[in-house]
Amino acid sequence: MKKAKKGHRTDRLLVFSGTSNLNLAKEIVKHAGVELADAFVGKFPEGEIRVKINDNVRGADVFVIQSTCMPTNDNLMELLVMIDALKRASAGRITAVVPFYGYARQDRKDQPRVPITAKLVANILTTAGADRILTMDLHADQIQGFFDIPVDHLLAAPVFIDYFRKMVEQDDFVIAASDIGGVKRAWYFAEKLNTPIAIVDKKRSGPESVEAMHIIGDVKGKNVIIPDDMLATGGTLVQAAKFLKAKGAKKIYACMTHGIFSGQAVEKINDSEILEVVVSNTIPQAEREKVKKIKVLSVGKLFGEAIKRIHDEQTISELFR
């Protein structure tokens, strides 16, 4: 057995879950080879978060799974209260497992007198008592630097690449970035799937409106996969798909790690040129799984393996290969 580090015992692994994404948590612990630890998580009659840790966590290596998706503030507060309860119960090390990191799009000051809420949330999680963060596909890589504690940043890309590989081997495909900001992700997919890349360049006139579009690359007569980190209202994705279709693309697919599906997103996708949108289960997708054009893939195995590796002090970079 490995020598225990000061502050936590490496032989005791406990995984707790909040209420935001319990189905994913159950998959994660299954792949991690443990059972969910026992805690009561609910609310007092007046709506305040109520938590009681029922297992002994003294000196243990503890992981808390909680996506801070809608209702964002309730789920974030629930995570903070759980971390505080574990800290006061003398947990050896506390890792906040946040498959979807809410407020991630507020990562910079793009206007005068606005907050950088992604940084604020990082500060709050650290102050609450988190010793480490495990998350997936942050909206901006620099958010990792907002934390003064270690951050393990997983990618959902391997799950999507495995799903599309057979399709790509049987037909001509192009990986398309829906905007300049998505070029790095598109290159990663193109390299792993051995396909060309195209870039949709657009000029915005508002948050969900575009004045003009141009394309770098060739999509005529080819199938297209559009990868991105999240799908919110779906406006940008639907516009990009329409433009690619007008440029001669055949079948159009999209894959998004975090399926937020706010507003009329599902209706927009159903009425669009997109054949299929593939999302992960970092956010609960029970209702969206029933939609014909939406496919949900699990990242439970990735998180389960990452938890095992962190607990055993092993590298997690192998998970990206």
The DSSP 8-state label assigned to residue 41 in this structure reads E
Give yes or no: residues 21 and 101 share one domain: yes
- 114 lies in some domain: yes
- 4 lies in some domain: no
With a pLDDT cut of 90, the percent of the chain lying above it is: 87
- Determine whether 202 is an active site residue: yes
Residue 130: name the closest of 101, 100, 95 by CA.
95
**Distance between CA 94 and CA 37 in Å, rounded?**
14
Of the chain, the end-to-end C-alpha distance in Å amounts to 28
For residue 202, the model assigns a pLDDT of 72
Q: Distances from the Cα of 290 to the Cαs of 65, 83, 272, 295, in angstroms? A: 25, 34, 17, 9
Name the packing angle between helices 183-193 and 157-170 (round to 10°): 50
* Residue carrying structure tokens 């997983």: 154
Give yes or no: residues 164 and 113 share one domain: no
For residue 176, the model assigns a pLDDT of 97
Secondary structure class of 308 (helix, strand, coil): helix
Q: Which residue has the higher pLDDT, 268 or 321?
A: 268
At 182-211, the pLDDT tens digits run 899 999 999 999 999 999 987 665 555 555
For residue 280, the model assigns a pLDDT of 98
Give yes or no: residues 198 and 236 share one domain: yes
Number of domains forming the structure of the chain: 2
- 77 lies in some domain: yes
Least confident of 64-68, 118-122, 149-153, 201-205: 201-205
- 5 lies in some domain: no
Give yes or no: residues 145 and 214 share one domain: no
- 8 lies in some domain: no
For residue 206, the model assigns a pLDDT of 56
Banded model confidence at residue 7, pLDDT cuts 50, 70, 90: very low
Give yes or no: residues 78 and 166 share one domain: no
Give yes or no: residues 95 and 38 share one domain: yes
* Residue carrying structure tokens 């789920």: 75
- 3 lies in some domain: no
Computed over every residue of the chain, the mean pLDDT equals 93
Extract the tokens encoding 189: 């997919």
For residue 251, the model assigns a pLDDT of 97
For residue 178, the model assigns a pLDDT of 87
Give yes or no: residues 166 and 94 share one domain: no
For residue 11, the model assigns a pLDDT of 82
User: Average pLDDT, stretch 45-70?
Assistant: 97
Give yes or no: residues 142 and 166 share one domain: no
**Distance between CA 102 and CA 149 in Å, rounded?**
18
Least confident of 90-99, 207-216, 250-259, 277-286: 207-216
Evaluate whether 17 touches 65 at the Cβ level (below 8 Å).
yes
Query: Of these residues, 30, 109, 192, 202, which one is catalytic?
Result: 202
**Distance between CA 118 and CA 140 in Å, rounded?**
10
Extract the tokens encoding 165: 């590989």
DSSP assignment of 201-230 = EEEEEETTEEEEEEEES--TTSEEEEEEEE
- 1 lies in some domain: no
pTM comes to 0.93
Residue 63: name the closest of 16, 11, 31, 122 by CA.
16
Task: Say if residue 2's pLDDT is above 60.
Answer: no
Q: Looking at the chain, how many residues does it have?
A: 321
Task: Say if residue 57's pLDDT is above 80.
Answer: yes
At 93-131, the pLDDT tens digits run 999 999 999 999 999 998 999 999 999 999 999 999 999
- 2 lies in some domain: no
Q: Distances from the Cα of 310 to the Cαs of 31, 66, 265, 317, in angstroms? A: 14, 17, 36, 11
Give yes or no: residues 126 and 220 share one domain: no
Give yes or no: residues 30 and 130 share one domain: yes
Give yes or no: residues 25 and 150 share one domain: yes
Give yes or no: residues 289 and 307 share one domain: no
Which CATH number belongs to the domain containing residue 92 in this structure? Answer: 3.40.50.2020
For residue 212, the model assigns a pLDDT of 54
Domain extent at residue 142: 13-154+301-320
